[in-house]
């Protein structure tokens, strides 16, 4: 396809394919694909898309569980100059329909296990023009294999790629990525080659782990951060081992079996590993980078992670609008903190990466000094171009010359960033600000607790009262009285939960984060507004 004189998103993969054509790029069950084979597949996908008239930045979605073909299609979409639209199959169909209409998506690559949802999407998304089933022909739609055959006789010389330039197409949109959408419809973030390239180069720098041939276990959804990590592993010349989904015992065994060097998980999945009865039965000595991202991590569980998995635990902070690497907390710092050197850094998400400036700002737009709590703001090339067709929403997160993350926190005198809550999740109880993440961390210090989520519920005396929803480890027991007594001693009376509920599971978003909107709904259903 195109020469490698530019640094579009696809070029990061191609550099590794040039250097290591015979190295395994993807391992999925019994199937394995070299970098050379994977590049050929992506070229054939791109040629067929070009032959069928794909337009510059035209949206192309992938709707599947974890599967090798998801990565083929992602690379093919990028190579064709289209914009990747990752769709989470765990979302309600209505939510996916809404986003596909909003994004005016024209292409859909999907797996046949979701044919019922896809048929509903086809009926309700008029912009769809091309539908390809990645695992075989389906309902009149071609298989990915037959789709690729159509492009074999087409030469890219037949069509001028007028969106190519020698500077790497910095402003080109390589992806239109939905936000979480927990407080309303998902917004589409315009991820440019500049932001994606910045993220990739930062990840190459911070995630290398001093490993010549990385092996990354892909078990979290490839439609979200795991797909970002997999792409970076390509840039590092690594092998992506694709697991169909997250199952704790399977992941623990797979680390040993594949000698995995890299693993990404959201904190909730990490906690499930720690709570598994077989967690101490496997060899994890191959791990170099066990990355936690997506939400704040319990410092006590992070310390336990070092004990179980070794000095490989690390953490990053980012968001769809500034992907993955606003900050970096390296494994050496985590291990030192777990051993007692600056133990407070177990509560940190690290220091700003080389690609950004971070600061803490008050509501008036003034930058705050160390240790003062305010909104975390950022600027730099990692920050994306804003929301698609939502100029007012973009302007709202760009006030005072900075990108506003919506996260509340502080920065210490050494530059370490501490997130205390999402701005919208803060509880105001008796006139005092209570940060959910701080209370959750206090409760997670109890060894019997597997998961904890804290919400504010209406209260006639306090306005809002702090309530803790807790999942205990299998075979463990705790009472509400014991938890409240622990919290009073550790957090004080204001931040202590007024009530505790025990659950078998806590509601989560399709991305695996706590769904506080769903948690709050039963308690606020009879109240005029969700502020009390």
| C-alpha gyration radius of the chain | 23
Model confidence at 164, pLDDT cuts 50, 70, 90, reads low
Average pLDDT along the chain: 89
On whether the CB atoms of residues 130 and 51 are closer than 8 A, the answer is no
Please state the rounded mean pLDDT for residues 383-407.
92
Enter the tokens of residue 313: 């635990």
Q: 3-class SS at 328? A: strand
Residue 167 has a pLDDT of 67
pLDDT digits (tens, 9 = 90+) for 121-143: 999 999 999 999 999 999 889 99
Q: Please state, in angstroms and rounded to a whole number, the distance separating the CA atoms of residues 206 and 193.
A: 20
Q: For residue 496, is pLDDT > 70?
A: yes
Q: For residue 185, is pLDDT > 80?
A: no
Ranking 86-100, 218-232, 248-262, 504-518 by mean pLDDT, the lowest is 504-518
Q: Please state, in angstroms and rounded to a whole number, the distance separating the CA atoms of residues 483 and 220.
A: 31
Enter the tokens of residue 104: 């005016």
Residue 73 has a pLDDT of 96
Q: Residues near 342 by Cβ (< 8 Å), separated by ≥ 6?
A: 333, 336
Please state the rounded mean pLDDT for residues 433-452.
87
Residue 160 has a pLDDT of 41
Q: For residue 41, is pLDDT > 80?
A: yes
Residue 524 has a pLDDT of 81
Residue 137 has a pLDDT of 92
Q: Please state, in angstroms and rounded to a whole number, the distance separating the CA atoms of residues 288 and 241.
A: 16
Which residue segments constitute the domains of the chain, with CATH numbers given? 35-155+163-192 (3.40.50.980), 246-423 (3.40.50.12780), 430-524 (3.30.300.30)
Please state the rounded mean pLDDT for residues 58-82.
95
Please state the rounded mean pLDDT for residues 101-128.
95
Q: Please state, in angstroms and rounded to a whole number, the distance separating the CA atoms of residues 141 and 385.
A: 34
Q: Residues near 275 by Cβ (< 8 Å), separated by ≥ 6?
A: 248, 450, 473, 474
Model confidence at 65, pLDDT cuts 50, 70, 90, reads very high
Residue 529 has a pLDDT of 45
Residue 7 has a pLDDT of 75
Q: For residue 444, is pLDDT > 50?
A: yes
Per-residue burial over 186-222, b if 16 or more Cβ lie within 10 Å, else e, is: bbbbbbbbbbbbbbbbbbeebbbbebeebbbbbbbbb
Model confidence at 386, pLDDT cuts 50, 70, 90, reads very high
Please state the rounded mean pLDDT for residues 157-176.
66
Q: Residues near 157 by Cβ (< 8 Å), separated by ≥ 6?
A: none
pLDDT digits (tens, 9 = 90+) for 136-163: 999 889 999 999 988 676 665 544 444 4
Tell me the range of 176-190, 402-416, 418-432, 451-465 where mean pLDDT is highest.
Answer: 402-416
- Residue 7 zone, left/alpha/beta (φ > 0; ψ -120 to 50; rest): beta
pLDDT digits (tens, 9 = 90+) for 511-531: 677 888 888 888 887 765 444
Q: Residues near 7 by Cβ (< 8 Å), separated by ≥ 6?
A: 168, 193, 197
Percent of the chain with pLDDT over 90: 67
Model confidence at 372, pLDDT cuts 50, 70, 90, reads very high
Select the more confidently predicted residue: 163 or 175: 175
Residue 14 has a pLDDT of 93
Please state the rounded mean pLDDT for residues 225-233.
91
| Sequence-ordered alpha helix ranges (H) in 423-478 | 436-444
Place of tokens 């950022």: 378
Enter the tokens of residue 144: 């990915």
Enter the tokens of residue 169: 């197409």
Tell me the range of 36-40, 406-410, 424-428, 437-441 where mean pLDDT is highest.
Answer: 36-40
Model confidence at 482, pLDDT cuts 50, 70, 90, reads very high
């Amino acid at each position: 396809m195109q020469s490698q004189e530019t640094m579009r998103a696809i070029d990061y993969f191609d550099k590794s394919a040039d250097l290591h054509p015979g190295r395994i790029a993807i391992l999925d069950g019994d199937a394995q694909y070299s970098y050379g084979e994977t590049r050929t597949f992506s070229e054939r996908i791109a040629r067929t898309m070009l032959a069928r008239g794909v337009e510059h930045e035209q949206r192309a979605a992938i709707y599947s569980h974890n599967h090798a073909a998801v990565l083929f299609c992602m690379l093919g979409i990028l190579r064709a100059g289209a914009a990747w639209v990752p769709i989470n199959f765990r979302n309600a169909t209505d939510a996916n329909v809404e986003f596909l209409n909003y994004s005016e998506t024209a292409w859909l690559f999907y797996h046949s296990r979701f044919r019922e949802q896809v048929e509903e999407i086809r009926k309700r998304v008029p912009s769809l023009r091309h539908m390809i089933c990645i695992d075989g022909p389906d309902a009149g739609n071609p298989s990915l294999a037959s789709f690729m055959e159509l492009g074999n006789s087409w030469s890219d010389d037949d069509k001028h790629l007028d969106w190519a330039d020698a500077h790497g197409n910095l402003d080109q949109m390589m992806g239109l990525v939905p936000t979480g959408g927990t407080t309303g419809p998902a917004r589409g973030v315009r991820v440019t080659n500049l932001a994606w390239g910045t993220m990739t180069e930062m990840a190459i720098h911070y995630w290398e782990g001093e490993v010549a041939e990385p092996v990354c276990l892909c078990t979290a959804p490839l439609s979200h951060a795991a797909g970002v990590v997999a792409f970076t592993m390509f840039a590092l010349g690594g092998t992506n081992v694709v697991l169909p989904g997250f199952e704790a015992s399977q992941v623990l065994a797979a680390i040993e079996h594949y000698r995995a060097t890299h693993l990404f998980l959201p904190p909730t999945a990490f906690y499930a590993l720690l709570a598994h009865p077989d967690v101490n039965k496997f060899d994890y000595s191959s791990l170099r980078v066990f990355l936690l991202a997506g939400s704040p991590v319990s410092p006590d569980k992070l310390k336990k992670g070092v004990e179980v998995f070794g000095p490989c635990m690390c953490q990053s902070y980012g968001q769809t609008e500034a992907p993955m690497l606003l900050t970096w907390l390296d494994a050496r710092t985590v291990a030192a903190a777990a051993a007692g050197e600056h133990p407070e850094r177990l509560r940190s998400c690290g220091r700003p990466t080389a690609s950004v400036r971070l600061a803490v700002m008050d509501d008036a737009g003034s930058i705050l000094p160390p240790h003062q709590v305010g909104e975390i703001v950022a600027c730099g090339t990692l920050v994306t171009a804003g929301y698609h067709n939502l100029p007012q929403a973009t302007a709202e997160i760009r006030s005072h010359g900075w990108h506003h993350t919506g996260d509340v926190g502080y920065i210490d005198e050494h530059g370490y960033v501490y997130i205390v809550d999402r701005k919208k999740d803060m509880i105001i109880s008796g006139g005092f600000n209570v940060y959910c993440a701080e209370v959750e961390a206090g409760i997670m210090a109890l060894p019997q607790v597997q998961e904890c989520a804290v919400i504010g519920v209406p209260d006639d005396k306090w306005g809002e009262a702090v309530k803790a929803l807790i999942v205990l480890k299998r075979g463990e027991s705790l009472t509400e009285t014991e938890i409240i007594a622990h919290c009073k001693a550790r957090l004080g009376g204001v931040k202590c939960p007024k009530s505790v509920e025990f659950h078998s599971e806590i509601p989560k978003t399709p991305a695996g984060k706590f769904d506080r909107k769903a948690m709050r709904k039963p308690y606020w259903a009879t109240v005029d507004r969700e502020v009390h």
